[in-house]
Amino acid sequence: MDLKLTDKFAVVTGSTAGIGQAIANSLAAEGARVVVNGRSQESVDAALKQMDLGDQAIGVAADVSTDEGCQTLLDRATDVAPIDILINNAGIFEPKPFEEITDQDWQKFFEVNVMSGVRMSRGVMESMRQRGWGRILFIASESAINIPVEMVHYGMTKTAQLAISRGLAKTLKDTGVTVNSVLPGPTWSEGVERFVKSLAGDGDLDSVKKNFFAENRPASLIQRFAKPEEVAAMATYLCGEQAGTTTGAAVRCDGGIVDTCF
Ligand code: NAD
């Protein structure tokens, strides 16, 4: 299938590792030019080297949890070309019992996971509307629906992304711009490796990884971690020309962990 992404210009927030990097690679493989973003110049340079995309990739170091960082990313990207595709991927997660989640934690999670996508979307929507084409994706999570008891603050941010994505799709009705959220299930990224290590404590990582689904995610129908590339394939399809009728949707690639069929 030719997704008709050749020469489209995409910004993927938080793409120096994990799912974001896999999405940037996958969009580039379909011919798009991509902006690779992380917080530090060092991480961006290392990712660009590893991804080896040549002129197809541009690196921008910017912290998208701040208004200033989002503006830097938007300015640097639009200096190159108008943004056709925005992937709001940057996100953080960390297990913490509810009674230990401080006000600062709640606010930090909201700024990184929610406000980054709000600010970036606000920055691209008018240009997409005027050009009659655009794709905005929020990389949410199955945790938007199955609120994880070990990180309620994270679940809150992921549910918020679904509301924003749906509301923005309605705002951009009849414009050629689609807005969707993608709901991955547990996916073996750098961030999840840290997360599983923190669950393991001093225990053996391999056995915690092996028992993770039986003990922590028994509802998963695939009983394994997804690969970032599997999530990237779904995200890339949604950016393609052929996905033009999918908008305002929460699209699952969650390994069947959410117990509904619609
Ligand atoms: P990861 O930690 O492996 O990678 C996250 C990337 O975002 C890194 O490149 C990091 O540098 C970057 N980043 C973090 N904060 C940033 C900031 N303020 N500004 C710019 N860049 C920043 O994470 P991942 O597992 O690949 O997760 C990516 C997204 O997918 C997140 O939104 C996460 O909530 C979501 N998700 C992940 C899983 C999973 O199991 N891995 C499941 C569902 C949803």
Range with lowest mean pLDDT among 101-110, 161-170, 178-187, 190-199: 190-199
Q: Whose CA is nearest to atom 22 of ligand 1?
A: 14
Does residue 209 form part of some domain? no
Kindly list the catalytic residues: 154
- In Å, the largest CA–CA distance within the chain is 55
Q: Whose CA is nearest to atom 39 of ligand 1?
A: 187
Does residue 110 form part of some domain? yes
Please give the average per-residue pLDDT across 84-91, as a whole number.
98
Residue 243 alpha carbon to ligand 1 centre in Å: 24
pLDDT in tens, 38-83: 999 999 999 999 999 999 999 999 999 999 999 999 999 999 999 9
Residue 21 alpha carbon to ligand 1 centre in Å: 9
Number of domains in the chain: 1
Does residue 230 form part of some domain? yes
Residue 196 alpha carbon to ligand 1 centre in Å: 14
- Could you tell me the residue range of the domain that residue 148 belongs to? 9-187+226-253
CATH number of the domain within which 54 lies: 3.40.50.720
Does residue 260 form part of some domain? no
Q: Whose CA is nearest to atom 10 of ligand 1?
A: 14
Does residue 65 form part of some domain? yes
Q: Which atom of ligand 1 is nearest to the CA of 226?
A: 40
Mean pLDDT of all residues in the chain? 96
Residue 219 alpha carbon to ligand 1 centre in Å: 23
Mutating to test ligand 1, I would choose from 112, 189, 258 the residue with most ligand atoms within 8 A of its C-beta, which is 189
**Lining residues, ligand 1, CB within 6 Å:** 13-14, 16-20, 37-39, 43, 63-65, 89-93, 112, 139, 141, 184, 186-187, 189-192
Please give the average per-residue pLDDT across 178-191, as a whole number.
97
Residue 143 alpha carbon to ligand 1 centre in Å: 14
In this prediction, residue 115 carries a pLDDT of 98
Does residue 206 form part of some domain? no
Q: Which atom of ligand 1 is nearest to the CA of 186?
A: 40
Q: Whose CA is nearest to atom 44 of ligand 1?
A: 141
Q: Whose CA is nearest to atom 31 of ligand 1?
A: 91
pLDDT in tens, 157-180: 999 999 999 999 999 999 999 999
Per-residue exposure over 52-81, b if at least 16 CB sit within 10 Å of its own CB, e if not: ebeebbbbbbbbbbeeebbebbbebbeeee
Does residue 1 form part of some domain? no
Does residue 192 form part of some domain? no
Residue 2 alpha carbon to ligand 1 centre in Å: 28
Mutating to test ligand 1, I would choose from 11, 19, 118 the residue with most ligand atoms within 8 A of its C-beta, which is 19
Q: For the whole model, what pTM was predicted?
A: 0.97
Tell whether the model's pLDDT for residue 252 goes beyond 90: yes
